[in-house]
């Protein structure tokens, strides 16, 4: 067996553990979100607090509040130490963003895509159909707002059709109306600004890269521009933009 054919089982195990942790986090936060809705919380801040605290467990009688602590009882609230393995992982060359599940998307979106331009290009790369498939059940808590902000801050006229496709796919995901209602004020303003930019631009010949077969067909049809404008008007209603 050649050197290049050797399987790095340690790296595979580490990647599997990361994926399992991300999936567990997604399920935990989703369950907390459903509980918060059932409890009819009074405000978005209270709702957000319940979800962000979903990883906490109640103290048991055996837990000591005084004395010397050798291990932090809540590692999520302490400053994160950067181990050698974490440093190596973060410094690795970024690969093509190709998540196969919503958990993988959530993990890589938060871990590797830190800047707005990186996130925007990743969304264009995936396109509407892929995003719709990943989030057909639900968009993770707080993620819809982050997606809208990334699009609003970096949308270009040449990407107009692709962005419309992304917005249409997101609007077709599970519990979209609920997630839309939970946007913060800043995220709502970004959403409004995004649609203002889409309305202000004419419908240019969008780049073919990243377009689905349906989107290419829409662009090439004689009445494609009219259909594109109709889609924009439909999205204005779905996203509740005045």
Token pair for residue 23? 């999936």
The pLDDT of residue 158 is 92
Q: Of 120, 200, 117, 204, which is closest to residue 166 (Cα–Cα)?
A: 120
Query: Residue 211's pLDDT is what?
Result: 52
Round to whole Å and give the CA distance between 88 and 147: 28
d(CA 221, CA 77): 55
197 — phi, psi (to 5°)?
-65, -40
Extents of the domains making up the chain: 9-48+99-238
pTM: 0.56
Measured between alpha carbons, how far apart are the two ends of the chain, in Å?
64
Identify the burial level of 118 via C-beta atoms within 10 angstroms of its C-beta, where 0-12 means exposed, 13-18 middle and 19 or more buried.
Answer: middle
User: Mean pLDDT across the stretch 78-98?
Assistant: 49
Query: How do residues 48-74 score in pLDDT, each as one tens digit?
Result: 766 766 666 655 555 554 545 544 545
pLDDT in tens, 113-141: 889 999 999 999 999 999 999 999 888 77
Question: pLDDT class for 20, splitting at 50, 70, 90?
Answer: confident
pLDDT at residue 35, rounded to an integer: 74
**pLDDT at residue number 171:** 95
Mean pLDDT, rounded, for 187-192:
96
- pLDDT per residue over 193-238, tens digit each? 999 999 998 654 444 444 555 555 554 444 567 889 999 999 999 9
Binning pLDDT at 50, 70 and 90, where does residue 97 land? Answer: confident
Instruction: Give me the pLDDT at residue 46, please.
Output: 65
User: Where residue 4 falls among pLDDT bands split at 50, 70, 90?
Assistant: low
């Amino acid at each position: 067996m050649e050197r290049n054919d050797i399987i790095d089982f340690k790296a595979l195990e580490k990647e599997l553990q990361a994926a399992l942790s991300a999936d567990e986090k997604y399920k935990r936060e989703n369950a907390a979100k459903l509980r918060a809705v059932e409890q009819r919380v009074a405000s978005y801040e209270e709702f957000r607090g319940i979800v962000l605290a979903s990883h906490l467990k109640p103290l048991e009688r055996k837990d000591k509040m005084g004395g010397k602590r050798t291990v932090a009882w809540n590692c999520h609230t302490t400053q994160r130490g950067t181990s050698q393995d974490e440093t190596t992982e973060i410094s690795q060359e970024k690969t093509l963003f190709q998540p196969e599940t919503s958990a993988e998307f959530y993990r890589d979106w938060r871990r590797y895509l830190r800047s707005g331009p990186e996130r925007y290009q990743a969304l264009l790369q995936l396109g509407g159909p892929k995003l719709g498939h990943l989030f057909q059940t639900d968009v993770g808590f707080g993620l819809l707002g982050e997606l809208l902000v990334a699009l609003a801050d970096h949308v270009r006229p040449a990407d107009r059709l692709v962005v419309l496709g992304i917005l249409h796919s997101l609007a077709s995901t599970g519990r979209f109306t609920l997630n839309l209602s939970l946007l913060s004020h800043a995220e709502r303003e970004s959403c409004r600004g995004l649609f203002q930019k889409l309305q202000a631009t004419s419908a240019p010949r969008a780049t073919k890269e990243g377009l689905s077969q349906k989107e290419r067909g829409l662009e090439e049809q004689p009445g494609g521009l009219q259909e594109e404008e109709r889609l924009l008007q439909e999205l204005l209603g779905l996203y509740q933009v005045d």
